[in-house]
Amino acid sequence: MRICTLRRVQSLAAVCAYSLQNAMPDSITLPAAVPIMPLPGAVLFPQALLPLYIFEPRYRAMLARALSHERMLCVTLLKPHRSDWQSVDDFYHIAAVGLIRACVGRGDGTSNLILQGMQRVRFKGFDQESPFPIAQIEELPSEAPASEAESYGLGRKLLELYEEFKGRGRQFPEKVDRYLSDLTDPEMLADLMAATFISEPTRRQQLLEERSVTERLRMVIQFLREETDRAA
């Protein structure tokens, strides 16, 4: 049974452009608990955007709860070989909290929304498990690179791969393309490239769970090379 339909209302490139132009303010404080939406194939990264179409009754209730509180919720990935969930063991417990940046309700009770990733978190426990989970969360801050020179070198390699993608017709909009050329934040670079160009959900989850920025950069480079080789 479907839980939700992902609406590709924008291309991934356009999503990233919107994301960079509407970065999260630093002053937002995460709540102690947020509603959870387990989905097959969906991994939200910090700063990335995820369009969603909400139609199932339990998730209409989840959305109403989120909108009446902090406008935040988590989308989390279902574990492999699961198309739906029956218990909290059926989905991953590391995800990104998202802020509802836009929501349009329809006359039939369904809604379209855009969720923007904010911060990696771990689920510590559950205040409720049905009709939708509400999880207690703790932040998972990234581990800064021990060597700025190493992270800079990995960032340059990642940008070289991006240049290869551009040569094959896959690229960000012009504003984002210019932004990438001057990017000095290796963590944002890793997350931006992962959110846009890594297609395998379990690999996206691995990148989301990796707290070391240096290791995350290495993994994105490895995964992009492997996916490019397979496509070739």
Q: Which domain holds residue 195?
A: 148-231
pLDDT digits (tens, 9 = 90+) for 13-65: 344 444 445 555 556 789 999 999 999 999 999 988 899 999 999 999 999 99
* Antiparallel, parallel or unpaired: β 33-39 and 72-77: parallel
Which pLDDT band holds residue 166 (cuts at 50, 70, 90)? confident
H/E stretch holding 11 reads: none
What tokens were used for 195? 């959110």
Q: Which residues of 168-194 are buried (b: 16+ CB within 10 A; e: fewer)?
A: eeebbeeebeebbeebeebbbbbbbbb
pLDDT at 132 over 50: yes
Pairwise CA distance, residues 25 & 19, whole Å: 12
For residue 106, what is the domain's CATH number? 2.30.130.40
pLDDT, average across residues 148-171: 80
Strand bridging mode 111-128 / 94-105 = antiparallel
What CA–CA distance (Å, rounded) separates 104 from 87?
30
Give the total number of structural domains in the chain.
2
Largest interatomic CA distance in the chain: 55
pLDDT, tens digit (0-9, with 9 covering 90-100), for 54-100: 999 999 999 999 999 999 999 999 999 888 999 999 999 999 999 99
> What's the pLDDT at 177?
66
Output the pTM of the full model: 0.84
pLDDT classification of 10: cutoffs 50, 70, 90: very low
pLDDT in tens, 185-212: 888 889 988 988 898 999 999 999 999 9
- Specify the CATH number for the domain of residue 156: 1.20.58
Model confidence at 5: pLDDT above 90: no
Verify that 26 and 128 share a domain, yes or no: yes
Residues 108 and 191 in one domain: no
Strand partners, 115: 50, 100
